[in-house]
């Protein structure tokens, strides 16, 4: 059957079907060219399926398979999703670019928030608006220079503006760095940029441009006033690395920070920095930004590293902590605070112990300990107030030995106790001027009576005596001690220049010298017994300086004393 014949078989939708069954179906609307092809395929597919079923008999139905080209339509939703995301991304990026460009344009013309010029808030102001604000409030401008304990404020005396407000505003905006406005905006909102100054580095080599200031600004007067404040601040600082200014009492050691507290401000640098900040219309000058340039180096040469090394070396002397003992009693202390005065910084970078200062200290301390020959005051057991000077009994400290002991203790960082060396000792260590004896023989020349007191003030022995004749033979006063107690001896006087023989030779049974071997207690059997009971007899029958005793009294004294017993001879 030809194609035309098949076409004629298609029922007319406007005419009733001539097929049996009595059911009329409408004629389908003619499809478009594309749809015709689809319809043809659709009309053919049932015949193909029937033919395949007839070929396969009653084989079960299989799911339809698709050729490689049939998979394409399943991916179309994914591609559409990606296309949508790209579109969104481009839109967001475009908005960001637009906002950025707007920001660049805006902050090329206005100041950032929290921006001030001479204390005037010019946030988001353009040059013209900022200039109006600044010029109207310029008389309130102040420039404060601060650093450590230094503070100085400059405020123009004239109410007339000292600067061109418009030029100042333009300068502010010219430093906006508009192309990095997001960063600068974040900084300004956080309060990090309050003024035009944004750099922490100070270039003191740059020229000071004060062209923005008007004729009302007197640069010479500005420098004079600031220089005077700097000079006043420097008066209390030596500018040298010294022990007394480098030692931190709270830290207990030498520190760089404390050492630098003695530095002097560098007059030239501070004035230059202040003028640089004034030129940029800043309100404050923070000298800490200058670092070491704000101060003159200690001694003109030391760096921070050298100061640290010097502090470390000085701290090595501070480890000593010893208690000085004299006969078991506390006599002083040497620790880090004592050593401070003995450290020499003649070479600032290499501190040393000044042994001359230690020697001077030791001599002064020894003088406080030495009692030999010094005046003592005391109250005798019977209540008599007495005083005496001279003699050889007491403490005698060798100051050079003491200085060497202390110096060795410092170098060795010694701790504990040091027993002070002495060449002679007394019975006890007391304050200078007090009696440093315990048991003693009290020889009262005014009474011509002697008493031996024990440590508790009890009389062990007493007797009348005859002392030396007034004049050359007078008995020497002072605090002495028994030098020997050997019993019998022969007392031999000085030679007579005319005869060449001793002036006297007197055998005695008991010889107890206390001034060397020249003056002492002894029996004097040649004296009239009654003379011992007359307190004036020494004036006409006195000895050559010795203390004459009755034989029995001399023996009793000999029997109860020992070498070293203190003898106090006084009026």
Q: Please write the tens of the pLDDT for every residue from 1-30.
A: 444 443 343 444 444 443 333 333 344 434
Structure tokens at 73: 């339509």
Question: How far are the Cα atoms of 119, 145, 169, 200 from residue 287, in angstroms, in the given order?
Answer: 20, 7, 25, 11
Give the C-alpha separation, 415 to 335, whole Å.
9
DSSP assignment string, 423-469: EE--SS---TTS---SSEEEEETTTTEEEEE-TTS-EEEEEE-B-BP
Q: What is the pLDDT of residue 329?
A: 86
215 against 198, higher pLDDT:
215
Q: Are 384 and 396 in contact, with CB atoms under 8 Å apart?
A: no
Give the C-alpha separation, 138 to 486, whole Å.
105
Q: Are 341 and 436 in contact, with CB atoms under 8 Å apart?
A: no
Mean pLDDT of the chain: 82
Q: What is the pLDDT of residue 550?
A: 98
Contacting residues for 531 by C-beta, under 8 A, at least 6 apart: 466, 537, 541
Q: Work out the average pLDDT over 492-504.
A: 88
Give the C-alpha separation, 239 to 408, whole Å.
32
Q: What is the pLDDT of residue 18?
A: 38
| Strand ranges in 90-217 using DSSP code E only, listed in sequence order | 116-117, 120-121, 143-147, 150-154
Contacting residues for 479 by C-beta, under 8 A, at least 6 apart: 376, 388, 390, 391, 392, 393, 394, 437, 566, 567, 568, 569
40 against 267, higher pLDDT:
267
Q: Work out the average pLDDT over 490-519.
A: 92
User: Is residue 240's pLDDT more than 70?
Assistant: yes
User: Is residue 341's pLDDT more than 60?
Assistant: yes
> Per DSSP, what are the bridge partners of residue 333?
323
Q: Are 431 and 375 in contact, with CB atoms under 8 Å apart?
A: no
Q: What is the pLDDT of residue 139?
A: 61
23 against 504, higher pLDDT:
504
Q: What is the pLDDT of residue 500?
A: 86
Contacting residues for 320 by C-beta, under 8 A, at least 6 apart: 334, 335, 336, 339, 409, 410, 412, 413, 414, 415
Q: For the segment 428-470, what is each residue's pLDDT rounded down to a tens digit?
A: 988 889 999 999 999 999 999 999 999 999 999 999 999 999 9
User: Is residue 65's pLDDT more than 50?
Assistant: no
147 against 25, higher pLDDT:
147
The neighbour count for residue 538, using CB atoms within 10 Å, is 23
- Which of the given ranges, 118-122, 273-277, 365-369, 384-388, has the highest pLDDT on average? 384-388
**pTM (two decimals):** 0.53
Q: Are 293 and 266 in contact, with CB atoms under 8 Å apart?
A: yes
Give the C-alpha separation, 246 to 160, whole Å.
48
74 against 233, higher pLDDT:
233
**CA angle (191 as vertex; 257, 103 as ends), nearest 5:** 135
> Per DSSP, what are the bridge partners of residue 385?
379
Q: Work out the average pLDDT over 224-244.
A: 87
User: Is residue 334's pLDDT more than 90?
Assistant: yes
Q: Work out the average pLDDT over 406-410.
A: 95
| Length of the chain (residues) | 571
**CA angle (484 as vertex; 482, 488 as ends), nearest 5:** 125
Longest CA pairwise span in the chain (Å): 201
Give the C-alpha separation, 546 to 568, whole Å.
14
């Amino acid at each position: 059957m030809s194609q035309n014949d098949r076409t004629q078989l298609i029922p007319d939708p406007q005419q009733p079907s001539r097929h049996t069954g009595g059911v009329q179906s409408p004629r389908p609307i003619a499809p478009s060219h594309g749809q015709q092809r689809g319809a043809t395929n659709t009309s053919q597919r049932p015949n193909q399926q029937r033919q395949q079923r007839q070929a396969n008999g009653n084989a079960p139905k299989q799911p339809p398979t698709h050729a490689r080209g049939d998979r394409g339509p399943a991916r179309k939703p994914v591609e559409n999703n990606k296309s949508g995301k790209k579109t969104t991304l481009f839109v967001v990026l475009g908005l960001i670019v637009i906002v950025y460009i707007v920001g660049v344009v805006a902050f090329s013309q206005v100041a950032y928030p929290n921006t001030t010029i001479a204390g005037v808030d010019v946030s988001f102001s353009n040059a013209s608006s900022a200039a109006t604000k600044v010029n109207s409030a310029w008389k309130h401008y102040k420039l404060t220079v601060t650093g450590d304990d230094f503070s100085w404020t400059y405020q123009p005396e004239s109410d007339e503006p000292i600067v061109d407000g418009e030029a100042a505003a333009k300068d502010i905006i010219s430093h906006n760095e508009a192309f990095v406005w997001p960063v600068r905006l974040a900084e300004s909102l956080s309060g990090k940029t309050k003024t035009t100054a944004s750099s922490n580095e100070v270039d003191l080599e740059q020229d000071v441009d004060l062209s923005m200031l008007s004729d009302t600004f007197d640069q010479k007067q500005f420098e004079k006033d600031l220089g005077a404040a700097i000079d006043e601040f420097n008066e209390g600082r030596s500018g040298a690395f010294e022990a007394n200014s480098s030692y931190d009492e709270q830290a207990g050691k030498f520190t760089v920070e404390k050492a630098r507290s003695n530095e002097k401000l560098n007059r030239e640098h501070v004035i230059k920095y202040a003028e640089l900040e004034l030129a940029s219309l800043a309100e404050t000058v923070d000298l800490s930004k200058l670092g070491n340039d704000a101060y003159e180096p200690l001694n003109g040469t030391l760096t921070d590293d050298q100061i640290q090394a010097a502090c470390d070396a000085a701290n090595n002397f501070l480890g000593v902590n010893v208690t000085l003992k004299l006969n078991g009693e506390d006599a002083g202390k040497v620790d880090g605070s004592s050593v401070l005065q003995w450290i020499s910084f003649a070479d600032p970078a290499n501190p040393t112990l000044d042994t001359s200062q230690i020697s001077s200290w030791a001599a002064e301390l020894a003088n406080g300990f030495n009692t030999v020959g010094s005046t003592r005051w005391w109250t005798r057991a019977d209540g008599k107030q007495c005083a005496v000077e001279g003699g050889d009994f007491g403490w005698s400290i060798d100051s050079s030995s003491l200085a060497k002991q202390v110096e060795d203790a410092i170098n060795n960082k010694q701790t504990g106790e040091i027993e002070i060396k002495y060449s002679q000792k007394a019975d006890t260590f007391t304050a200078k001027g007090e009696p440093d004896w315990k048991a003693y023989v009290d020889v009262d020349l005014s009474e011509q009576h002697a008493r031996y007191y024990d440590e508790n003030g009890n009389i062990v022995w007493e007797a009348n005596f005859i002392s030396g004749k007034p004049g050359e033979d007078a008995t020497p006063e002072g605090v002495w001690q028994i030098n020997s107690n050997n019993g019998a001896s022969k007392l031999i006087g000085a030679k007579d220049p005319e005869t060449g023989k001793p002036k006297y030779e007197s055998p005695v049974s008991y010889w107890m010298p206390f001034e060397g071997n020249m003056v002492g207690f002894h029996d004097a059997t040649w004296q009239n017994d009654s003379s011992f009971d007359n307190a004036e007899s020494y004036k006409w029958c006195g000895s050559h300086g010795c203390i004459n005793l009755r034989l029995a009294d001399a023996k009793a004294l000999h029997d109860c004393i020992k070498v070293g017993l203190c003898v106090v001879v006084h009026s």
